[in-house]
A and B are shown apart, each in its own frame.
Chain A
Amino acid sequence: MTYIAKPSIHHPGLTKNALGHTRRDYEGAVSTLCAGCGHDSISAAIIQAFFDLNIEPHRVAKLSGIGCSSKTPAYFLGNSHGFNTVHGRMPSALTGANLANKDLLYIGVSGDGDSASIGLGQFCHAIRRGVNMVYIVENNGVYGLTKGQFSATADKGSKSKKGASNSDSPIDLVMLAMELGATYVGRSFSGDKEQLIPLIKGAIAHQGAALIDVVSPCVAFNNHPGSTKSYDYVRAHNEAVNSMDIITPREEITTNYPAGTTELVTMHDGSQMLLKKIAADYDPHDKIAAMQFLMRESAAGQVVTGLLYAERDSEDLHQHIGTVATPLNQLGDRDLCPGSEALARINAGLR
């Protein structure tokens, strides 16, 4: 951690986005995590994504649970709404907030402990309900705050800092999310912002439950030989299936790509996603083939990254349950509690 605040002086040549903000305007407080923590890189990627998409910070709500990862919303988007919830309960709080005010953009930040252990049930239900959110798991495979015990995502056979081998099977949140009906699923690496930033931007533009599993090395407890979540291991086994750009409506697509290698997807908010194939036979819209590919590569020790699955015409929870267009928190008492006559009418309709 750092004892001084990050100086407010910035580069005089820093660019401004369409709102007139610099990237520095999207920062939060200075991080108190360990030096070199992958989570800080993810925070930097989130900052860049919101800056690039010209999103006003007050339109964003950031929620988290407990853990190193869940501290990070303090370190980005200092002018956004925030809620640091109980351990593992971020998905429920987020679902509730989203139901009450669907106009905000929701970003849930969690870790492998918060989501794959104590909050696994919460994680599953928020995903399967299709809550419109960006769910980022900062996945380092260890419980960093309690000195580095294996977490539920640690690979079987991987080694702890002291040399102990993990005998439990890992939970793969990407596979779980796909199975549970997430409509946008990606995996990335904190050390690869070129991949991570567009992936986050795509998730923000996506309508529905978007999960990004970000392998984020814990430099204090899980960045050693024998770890499968270290900088060196991930760099050596990173298998990107595609790369992407998010093009906001005011930008133009200038580069030409050979036919068959790219795909243009129009997103819910009007922006476009330019998807560039790296693995020739990987189709991120074919869930079953994608899951097979992931299982095969995972068994071979590879870390498959990129946009792994995206449903073309996705829906979210509000569409599923047919809420009114106005966010519920903006409805008056009369609309929310229409009185006993309305209740009687409903009851009569059910008889």
Chain B
Amino acid sequence: MKPTDITNPDYFHKVVDCQLACPAHTPVPEYIRLIADGKYSDAYMVNWESNVFPGVLGRTCDRPCEPACRRGRVDEEPVAICRLKRVAADNKDDVRDRMPKPPAEKNGKKIACIGAGPASLAVARDLLPQGYHVVIYEADPFAGGMMRTQIPKFRLPESVLDEEVGYITALEPEMRLGHRIESMKALLEEDYDAIFVGTGAPRGRELEIPGRQEASANIHIGIDWLSSVSFGHTTKIGKRVIVLGGGNTAMDCCRTSRRLGGDEVKVIVRSGYEEMKASPWEKEDARHEGIPIFNFLVPKAFTHEPGPDGKPKLTGVTFEKVKAERDAKGRRNLVPTGEADEWVAADDVLVAVGQENSFPWIERDCGIEFDRWGMPIVDEKTLRSSHPRVFFGGDAAFGPKNIIWAVAHGHEAAVSIDKLCHDEDISDRPAPGVKISSQKMGIHEWSYDNDISNEDRYKVPHRDPKLTLRDIKMEVELGFDLKAGLAEAQRCLNCDVQTVFSTNLCIECDACMDICPTDTINFVAPTAEETESELRERLRVPANNTSQDLYVSTPLKTTRVMIKDEDVCLHCGLCAERCPTGAWDMQKYLISITHAGHACRSHAPVGAK
């Protein structure tokens, strides 16, 4: 096995599982430590740098960080990272004076952002302080995109969204609200140096089954209906509501229905409960509000009968019962059980079976190529389309994902645009910034809290459903109070404080190996022909999680090597405390993704390399 090259920033970034899993690579342990320290404003700013909408995401994020959290591998549940973000946002001071200011001088470059959702706003946030003139077009009368139109206010209060959109509008983009772009061709003819398309996945998928047309008065497309509720156009719904679909939109639809007069709201899903696309906690929240979820039922037809006015009126939905079976190739299919169909009565049906992209306003001959599914061809790294000056991000780029992905795309697109406007090769991506600092303060003192908390994950308290079901704007989650926030923050294992080993200092006393609470450290003599998988097998505890690296030292005096399995390291620093020679040191690797601006540029003209 080759010794590990820890000078490559990717090596220790991989150890910070949460940060690696976050599409925007938010330095999670760094802000959690700041929360534990009561420095909420600092914690907020660390977040704001990376993910632009900490208050919004602290309530609505899809949390890819949490399944990745190392704590989840050594304890029952991961750290409640997402809701800690909210603790920072809720408890910060006025941070306006920490925000970048609109520059006094513009750089003469003009950028158009289409759509005022999270992706476009992230692009604007990154480019405006650099002196760009950014014009944001939005068809709706307000900025915020799906964060405003699709996320119910009982999950995301308007004030939180307004505040965080406000930090970007304070950078003075040119806001053209209520202005729908009808032609990309026309826009390309204007004097924009680059165009960013962040229009989301605006079209709800249809459910074309018998009765759809006839009963259409009481069948609504989920995202359109949520948007209509958000703008106050829709204020009530029938008593019996069926929500079709198992994603997060379906969860928002059913919970919103409960607040608009739906007494008997049911979610009915084709797949099984576990396979539903909705986040587990959103399913839980829906059930908490008395909304049952029925699985393995495929909608077959909308039933209807003539209403008092003679027009057909929806009476319910007929479902075919199915079960999951694996075919010969091991694929999972839903096959009819053969039982009789089930009919469920309903006054209204909300269809939330998926979202689609839609670009009717982009002429197919304007230089932007589309694939056969109608999606633009976009480079995953640069976010550039086949048109050299047109970029896509968020749901518009690769189909429906979530807010944090939109922000991440926004950052990368902004880097591309910045490099493009400086005549640089945009495929040459900037390396992340890495700040390394030893945490040693004294013989056994560290500048981080290395004592591992044994607490279980804290639950976020909810308001009484009796109150929240009556008021569609009343936020359900109360957020952690400071005490619970501190205790939850202390569950973090500080995975960005790395165990750094120096071969030349080691005297092979075994102290680190003996003290390590999770048996990650080994001293072994590998044979020349031994493969990594063989070596993994013969460690003190076999390193079976191959997604986690082995940290391998150069040969020691006895020809053995130190091999550390990064998988379940608690970053408690005991190896370094028990090391008599300082061969182990705890060093914080603060990794920050390079955003648009001076640092992202290569400072070399295209073709010079």
Binding site for B on A (CB under 8 A): 1-15, 24, 30-31, 34-38, 40-41, 43-44, 190-191, 193, 217, 219, 223, 231-232, 235
Contacts and interface: CB of A to CB of B under 8 A. Distances in A.
B363 interface: no
A231 B517 contact: no
Contacts of A5: 451
A44 B510 contact: yes
B451 A35 contact: no
Nearest to A44: B514
Q: Which of B452, B454, B578 is the most central at the interface, judged by chain A CB atoms within 10 Å of its CB?
A: B578
Contact of B511 (A6, A12, A36): A36
A231 B514 contact: no
A158 B520 CA distance: 37
B558 interface: yes
Given A13-B542, A36-B581, A191-B509, A4 B451 contact: yes
A5 B544 CA distance: 28
Interface in B558-597: 558, 568, 570, 572, 574, 577-581
A12 B577 CA distance: 23
Contacts of B602: none
A36 B579 contact: yes
A36 B452 CA distance: 22
A40 B508 contact: no
B509 A38 contact: yes
* Interface class of chain B by DSSP: loop
Q: What's the dominant secondary structure at chain A's contact region?
A: loop
Contacts of A223: 507
Contacts of A12: 73-74, 568
A255 to B, nearest CB: 15
Given A191-B508, A219-B509, A6 B517 contact: yes
Contacts of A231: 507-509
Given A36-B579, A40-B514, A191-B510, A11 B519 contact: yes
A11 B518 contact: yes
Given A10-B517, A12-B73, A231-B509, 13 more contacts: A6-B517, A9-B570, A11-B74, A11-B518, A13-B542, A35-B578, A36-B579, A37-B509, A40-B578, A44-B510, A191-B510, A193-B510, A232-B507
B510 A35 contact: no
Interface in B484-534: 507-511, 513-515, 517-520
A193 B523 CA distance: 11
Contacts of B513: 44
Contacts of B518: 9-11
Contacts of A2: 444, 515, 574, 577-578
Given A14-B519, A40-B514, A41-B514, A9 B509 contact: no
B74 A9 contact: yes
Nearest to B454: A8
Given A2-B578, A8-B454, A13-B541, A37 B519 contact: no
A32 to B, nearest CB: 11
B574 A35 contact: no
B75 interface: yes
Interface centre among B445, B517, B558, B572 (most CB of A within 10 A): B517
Closest 10 CB pairs of A and B: A36-B580, A7-B452, A44-B514, A219-B580, A4-B451, A36-B509, A35-B580, A7-B517, A11-B518, A11-B541
B554 interface: no
A11 B519 CA distance: 7
B511 to A, nearest CB: 5
Contacts of A37: 509, 511, 580
A5 to B, nearest CB: 8
Contact of B450 (A4, A9, A41, A219): A4
B579 to A, nearest CB: 6
A223 B513 CA distance: 20
B457 to A, nearest CB: 14
Contacts of A193: 510
Nearest to B573: A4
From B73, B514, B557, B581, residue with most partner A Cβ within 10 Å? B514
B558 A36 contact: no
B492 to A, nearest CB: 13
B405 to A, nearest CB: 31
A235 B558 contact: yes
B473 to A, nearest CB: 42
A40 B541 contact: no
8 contacts: A1-B444, A2-B515, A4-B452, A11-B541, A12-B568, A36-B507, A219-B507, A232-B507
B509 A6 contact: no
Contacts of A3: 444-445
A208 B431 CA distance: 66
Contacts of B508: 191, 231
A6 B75 contact: no
B535 to A, nearest CB: 16
Nearest to B583: A36
Given A4-B572, A219-B580, A41 B507 contact: no
A35 B572 contact: no
B544 A13 contact: yes
A318 B520 CA distance: 44
B544 A6 contact: no
A12 B541 CA distance: 9
Contacts of A190: 509-510
Interface in B157-182: none
Nearest to A8: B454
Nearest to B444: A3
A11 B568 contact: yes
Contacts of B74: 9-12
A101 to B, nearest CB: 31
B102 to A, nearest CB: 48
Contacts of A191: 508-510
Contacts of B509: 36-38, 41, 190-191, 217, 219, 231
Contacts of A36: 507, 509, 511, 578-581
Contacts of A41: 509-511, 514
B455 to A, nearest CB: 12
B494 to A, nearest CB: 12
Contacts of A35: 511, 577-580
Among the interface residues A6, A15, A24, which one has the most CB atoms of the partner chain B within 10 A? A6
Nearest to B509: A36
Nearest to B75: A9
Nearest to A75: B514
A12 B570 CA distance: 12
A231 B506 CA distance: 11
A36 B515 CA distance: 10
A231 B560 CA distance: 15
A236 to B, nearest CB: 10
Contacts of A40: 511, 514-515, 578
A43 B557 CA distance: 24
Interface in B418-476: 444-445, 450-452, 454
Nearest to A41: B510
A34 B580 contact: yes
A5 B514 CA distance: 14
A279 to B, nearest CB: 21
A37 B518 CA distance: 20
Contacts of B451: 4-5
B311 to A, nearest CB: 62
Contact of B570 (A7, A31, A232, A235): A7
A153 B544 CA distance: 46
Contacts of B517: 6-10, 24
B454 A9 contact: yes
Nearest to B451: A4
Contacts of A7: 452, 454, 517, 570, 572, 574
A55 B85 CA distance: 48
Contacts of A8: 454, 517
B515 A6 contact: yes
Contacts of B580: 34-37, 219
A11 B543 CA distance: 10
Nearest to B514: A44
